[in-house]
C-alpha cells in the first residue's frame, strides 16, 4: 500500500534554507562516526541546490493556470471544497496472491483502523471527504515516468496472467501480477492524479486548501522507470508529481519518502531533474540497498536528492529531527500549520509537496 499527502498553495518566497541544513548536520553528527557517513560535503551540495531553487519565485495557484470550478476533480460533490482532508481508496482487490506479504488485505485493514479511530467522514463530517468516481491514469500519464515498452509489455502480460492466475513480472519475484493488475495499477495512479486536480481546484476557492491522501495499491516507490520492483508496479507518487507539473504548471515539487526501505524507483525517476526535490529517510542497509548519503542527484539535478539512511532502531532520532524541522519552519513562518508537509513546503517548494510511504506491517 502506498499513501500520499499533497498540499498545493500560493506562498511568499521562503527564506529557510540557511537554517535547515546546518540543523540536519547537527542531528547526524551523533551517529556519523558509528555509521561512517561523510555528510559535510554531500549536505553542502544539497544545501547549495536548495538555496538556488529557493531563489526562484515561481508560484502557481489555480487562478494562474485558469482552472475552472467544474474541472475534472475526484468528485462532483461541491462539499469537498470545504474539507481539510480529501482521500481516495483504491484497494486493488483483484491484485492478490495468497500468503504474499503484499496482499489485498492491506487497504481494508487500514480503512478499518481509520474507522476505529473515528477518522472517517462518518465521524469527522465535512472535515474529511472521501473522493470517489475518479478515473484511471492514462497510458501517457504512466509513460511520463515509465518506459512505454514496459507499460505495453505489462498490458500484454495480462493475457498470460488470465491463463495462469498469478505470474511474476520481475523475473523470479517478488512482484506478481494477476489478470486485473494492469487496470488496477492505472486506478491507483489515477487516484493521485484526481487528488492533484481536487486540491488545485480547492486552492482557487480558499486560502487553506486541503491535503490529499491516497490509500492505494499496488504500491509504487520501488518501481523503476524501466520496470517493476519490490512489489511495486507503477510509481504512483512520481506519476502524480509529473501530472502536477504538466497539467497545472506546478514547476517545483518536493517529494518526501519515509519508509524503512529506500524509495529507489522515485529517486531514479528524478535523479537528474532540477525541479523535483526528493528526500528519503530509510533504514541503512535495508532493501534494496540503495539510498546512500552520497547519492545527491546527477547533472542538472545534482543537489536535488537528499538520502538520509538511518541506523536500525533510530525512530526516536528521526522524530527529533522532524520536531526540529517543524520548530525551525514555524519560527520562519509563524502561520505554518502543524503538518510536516506544510513546513517542508515553506522551506523549499512554492508549488507542491508530496509525501510517499509504504506500509510494511499491518
Catalytic residues: 222
Q: Where are the alpha helices (DSSP H) in the chain?
A: 17-35, 39-54, 106-116, 121-124, 139-143, 148-164, 181-205, 236-248, 264-269, 315-332, 340-347
CA 223-224-228 angle, to 5 degrees, is 45
Residue 313 backbone class (left: φ over 0; alpha: ψ -120 to 50; beta: rest): left
Alpha carbon distances (Å) from 64 to 275, 285, 351: 19, 44, 11
Measured CA to CA, the distance from residue 271 to residue 15 in angstroms comes to: 25
Q: Decide: 92 and 188 in contact? Cβ < 8 Å.
A: yes
- Residue 285 burial class via C-beta count within 10 angstroms: exposed 0-12, middle 13-18, buried 19 and up: exposed
Instruction: In whole angstroms, give the CA distance from residue 87 to residue 33.
Output: 42
Distance CA 130, CA 264 (A): 30
Residue 74 burial by CB count (10 A; 0-12/13-18/19+): exposed, middle or buried?
buried
Closest CA to 289 of 324, 249, 260, 319: 260
Amino acid at each position: 500500500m502506498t499513501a500520499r499527502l499533497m498540499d498545493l498553495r500560493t506562498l511568499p518566497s521562503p527564506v529557510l534554507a540557511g537554517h535547515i541544513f546546518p540543523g540536519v548536520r547537527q542531528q547526524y553528527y551523533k551517529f556519523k562516526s558509528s555509521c561512517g557517513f561523510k555528510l559535510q560535503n554531500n549536505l553542502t551540495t544539497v544545501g547549495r541546490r536548495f538555496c538556488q531553487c529557493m531563489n526562484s519565485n515561481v508560484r502557481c495557484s489555480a487562478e494562474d493556470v485558469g482552472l475552472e470550478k467544474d474541472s475534472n476533480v475526484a468528485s462532483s460533490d461541491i462539499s469537498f471544497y470545504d474539507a481539510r482532508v480529501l482521500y481516495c481508496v483504491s484497494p486493488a482487490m483483484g491484485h492478490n496472491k495468497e500468503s504474499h506479504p503484499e496482499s489485498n488485505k492491506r487497504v481494508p485493514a487500514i480503512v478499518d483502523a481509520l474507522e476505529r479511530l473515528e477518522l472517517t467522514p462518518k465521524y469527522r463530517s465535512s472535515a474529511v471527504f472521501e473522493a470517489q468516481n475518479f478515473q484511471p491514469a492514462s497510458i501517457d500519464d504512466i509513460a511520463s515516468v515509465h518506459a512505454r515498452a514496459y507499460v505495453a509489455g505489462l498490458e500484454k502480460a495480462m493475457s498470460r496472467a488470465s491463463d495462469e492466475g498469478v505470474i511474476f513480472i520481475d523475473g523470479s519475484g517478488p512482484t506478481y501480477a494477476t489478470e486485473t493488475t494492469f487496470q488496477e495499477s492505472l486506478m491507483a495512479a489515477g487516484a493521485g492524479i484526481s487528488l492533484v486536480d481536487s486540491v488545485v481546484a480547492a486552492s482557487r476557492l480558499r486560502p487553506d486548501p486541503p491535503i490529499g491522501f491516497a490509500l492505494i495499491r499496488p504500491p509504487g516507490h520501488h518501481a523503476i522507470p524501466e520496470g517493476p520492483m519490490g512489489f511495486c508496479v507503477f510509481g504512483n507518487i512520481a506519476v502524480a508529481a509529473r501530472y502536477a507539473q504538466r497539467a497545472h504548471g506546478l514547476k517545483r515539487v518536493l517529494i518526501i519518502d519515509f519508509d524503512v526501505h529506500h524509495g529507489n524507483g522515485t529517486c531514479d525517476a528524478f535523479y537528474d531533474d532540477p525541479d523535483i526535490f526528493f528526500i528519503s529517510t530509510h533504514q541503512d542497509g535495508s532493501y534494496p540497498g540503495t539510498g546512500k548519503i552520497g547519492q545527491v542527484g546527477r547533472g542538472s539535478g545534482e543537489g536535488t536528492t537528499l538520502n538520509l539512511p538511518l541506523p536500525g532502531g533510530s525512530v526516536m532520532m528521526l522524530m527529533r529531527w522532524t520536531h526540529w524541522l517543524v520548530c525551525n519552519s514555524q519560527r520562519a513562518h509563524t502561520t505554518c500549520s502543524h503538518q510536516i508537509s506544510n513546513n517542508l513546503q515553506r522551506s523549499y517548494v512554492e508549488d507542491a509537496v508530496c509525501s510517499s510511504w509504504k506500509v510494511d506491517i499491518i
